[in-house]
Amino acid sequence: MGTVHRSRRPCNDHLVDGPIGPYVDALKQYLTDRRYAATTAASYLGAVAHFARWARSRRLRINQIGEASVVQFLDDHLPRCCCTGLTRHDRGDHSAALGHLLVVLRARGAIAAPTIGRTPVYEELVRYDEYMANVRGLMTKTRSAALLIIRRLLVARFGDGPVNIAEIEPAIVRRFFAQQAELYKTPASASLVVTSLRGYFRYRASLGDLVHRLIGAVSYPANWKLSSLPKTLTTDEIARLVGAMGQPGRAMRRADAIVRCALDLGLRSCEVARLRLDDIDWRAGTITLRHTKGLRQDVLPLPAATGEAIAAYLKDERPKTSNRAVFVRNVAPRDEPIGPDLVRKAIRQAFGRAGLPYTRSHLLRHTMANRLLASGSSLKEVADMLRHRSLNTTMIYAKLDSRHLVEVALPWPGSGS
């Protein structure tokens, strides 16, 4: 808890006097639009006023305010602050408030875009990320994992200097892969390094670089792709999970609807987070998934239990908002959809309430596939429901299809059958 000093002069007066003064109203409107609580908004304005007083004492002009000055204020001034006035010394509040301030100042064109980290490697990664998003249609999580690996390679080879792909030799790529493979526990996870490297080198090849020898410099580690069984919930565990729904409490209806979307429809976390009100056709009993993996659009039937859970959330718990997302935040910044992390958290907490020792949200997607097979659906139907582009991706679930496996099983040698 930060120390507070008081004086007769309101601390927020420094907002008006300093270089930030012309943007005070815009900052207040920004916080109001995102429905921050009055106490939180007042705390943020006080933190910004503290920064404004410090900026004025340093004679900073508005165009000199940015990440560098914020870091200097937080690291150098705040720990030793002896300012008079209504001043808090909480670093977290100051950091959050100044982050909002920079957003507002940039939206108003008062300061330039951030330049921290804009090295040649950074610019290269930005271009590659745009390529992965717009040309290959890869999801954010996949792109982030690839960028992390490519960044390690480029920084290790070029540092802060220019990126010259011709200076990367196959031996460098092989050594890099050997180092990175030690960070992963299984051959399947180490394959991510190979996939990321080859994807990047193919991107460079599309630009005209001669990198074909780099593409073949590493190969995937030996891994029996279908050697394991996908983990699923048992019938009893499904009953326990469903039985734990409907509990009173904050955000419980939202959690129930999220679990239903994953359990009944096999939706990924990002797909749940992106659902919009316009995607649900209540009369036809369908739900449309837009911008899914591979940037496709799919229409799925909406089960009654799932529809009832979503309807209960929309009617009784969803906060009033102008946002068209189905699932929205309950805390500031409001009027914004939840993210995939919150979806995964809601499912983990649902497991905990049911007394189940699981944490992975993808487990419900596997469970849905297993339930389809148990009810007599074919692998093709499962692939369609899971929206797999290749039937090979769905083949792992063939091991769960005991109904058909019994028909093709050979008698055990020496048995009476």
CATH number at residue 174: 1.10.150
Asked whether residue 320 is assigned to any structural domain, the reply reads: yes
For residue 7, the model assigns a pLDDT of: 40
User: Average pLDDT, stretch 55-59?
Assistant: 88
Asked whether residue 364 is assigned to any structural domain, the reply reads: yes
Of the residues 51, 82, 107, the one at which a domain ends: 107
Asked whether residue 4 is assigned to any structural domain, the reply reads: no
The whole-angstrom separation of Cα 176 and Cα 40 is 47
Q: Does residue 87 sit in the same domain as residue 164?
A: no
Of the residues 74, 107, 140, the one at which a domain ends: 107
pLDDT, tens digit, for every residue of 129-152? 999 998 888 888 889 999 999 999
Using a pLDDT cut of 70, give the percent of the chain over it. 84
pLDDT, tens digit, for every residue of 274-288? 999 999 999 999 999
Q: What angle do CA 20, 24, 30 make, to 5 degrees?
A: 125
Q: Does residue 62 sit in the same domain as residue 93?
A: yes
The whole-angstrom separation of Cα 31 and Cα 38 is 9
pLDDT, tens digit, for every residue of 164-178? 999 999 999 999 999
User: Average pLDDT, stretch 358-367?
Assistant: 90
Q: Does residue 355 sit in the same domain as residue 246?
A: yes
Q: Does residue 83 sit in the same domain as residue 50?
A: yes
pLDDT score of 10 more than 50: no
For residue 412, the model assigns a pLDDT of: 65
User: Average pLDDT, stretch 172-196?
Assistant: 87
Catalytic-role residue among 88, 344, 371, 388: 388
| 362 among known catalytic residues | yes
Asked whether residue 336 is assigned to any structural domain, the reply reads: yes
Q: Which span out of 26-30, 82-86, 231-235 was modeled with the highest average pLDDT?
A: 26-30
pLDDT score of 265 more than 80: yes
- Its pTM stands at 0.70
Asked whether residue 227 is assigned to any structural domain, the reply reads: no
Q: Does residue 331 sit in the same domain as residue 396?
A: yes
What is the rounded average pLDDT for all residues in the chain? 85
Q: Does residue 205 sit in the same domain as residue 264?
A: no
Asked whether residue 294 is assigned to any structural domain, the reply reads: yes
| 213 among known catalytic residues | no
Catalytic-role residue among 50, 94, 365, 371: 365
For residue 292, the model assigns a pLDDT of: 72
Q: Does residue 180 sit in the same domain as residue 253?
A: no
Question: Whose structure tokens read 């091991």?
Answer: 399
Q: Does residue 211 sit in the same domain as residue 280?
A: no
Asked whether residue 242 is assigned to any structural domain, the reply reads: yes
Specify the amino acid at residue 210: L
pLDDT score of 5 more than 50: no
Domains contained in the chain, number = 3
Q: Which one is predicted more confidently, 379 or 314? A: 314
Q: For residue 155, report the phi and psi dihedrals to the nearest 5 degrees.
A: -65, -40
The model's confidence at residue 228, banded by pLDDT at 50, 70 and 90, is low
Catalytic-role residue among 50, 88, 198, 268: 268
Please name which of 100, 109, 129 lies closest in space to residue 36, comparing C-alpha atoms.
Answer: 100
The whole-angstrom separation of Cα 52 and Cα 15 is 6
Cβ atoms of residues 251 and 347 within 8 Å: no
pLDDT score of 407 more than 70: no
Helix (H, G, I), strand (E, B) or coil at 270: helix
Asked whether residue 411 is assigned to any structural domain, the reply reads: no
Lowest mean pLDDT among 23-27, 119-123, 159-163, 379-383: 379-383
User: Average pLDDT, stretch 188-195?
Assistant: 86
For residue 398, the model assigns a pLDDT of: 59
Cβ atoms of residues 176 and 156 within 8 Å: yes
Q: Does residue 154 sit in the same domain as residue 189?
A: yes
Catalytic-role residue among 290, 293, 353, 399: 293
For residue 401, the model assigns a pLDDT of: 54
Of the residues 107, 134, 151, the one at which a domain ends: 107
For residue 113, the model assigns a pLDDT of: 81
Q: Does residue 205 sit in the same domain as residue 176?
A: yes
Using a pLDDT cut of 90, give the percent of the chain over it. 50
Domain that holds residue 339: 235-404
pLDDT score of 4 more than 70: no
Tell me the two tokens of residue 73: 């204020």
Q: How far is CA 117 from CA 168, 185, 221, 293, 322, in A?
A: 22, 31, 34, 30, 36
Strands (E), 191-311: 280-281, 286-289, 298-301
For residue 410, the model assigns a pLDDT of: 55
pLDDT score of 190 more than 60: yes
Q: Does residue 103 sit in the same domain as residue 131?
A: no
Q: Does residue 50 sit in the same domain as residue 138?
A: no
Say how many Å lie between the first and final Cα of the chain, rounded. Answer: 75
| 397 among known catalytic residues | yes
Please name which of 182, 179, 190, 130 lies closest in space to residue 156, comparing C-alpha atoms.
Answer: 179
The whole-angstrom separation of Cα 291 and Cα 310 is 21
Query: Looking at the DSSP assignment, which residues form a beta bridge with residue 266?
Result: none
Tell me the two tokens of residue 115: 């330049």
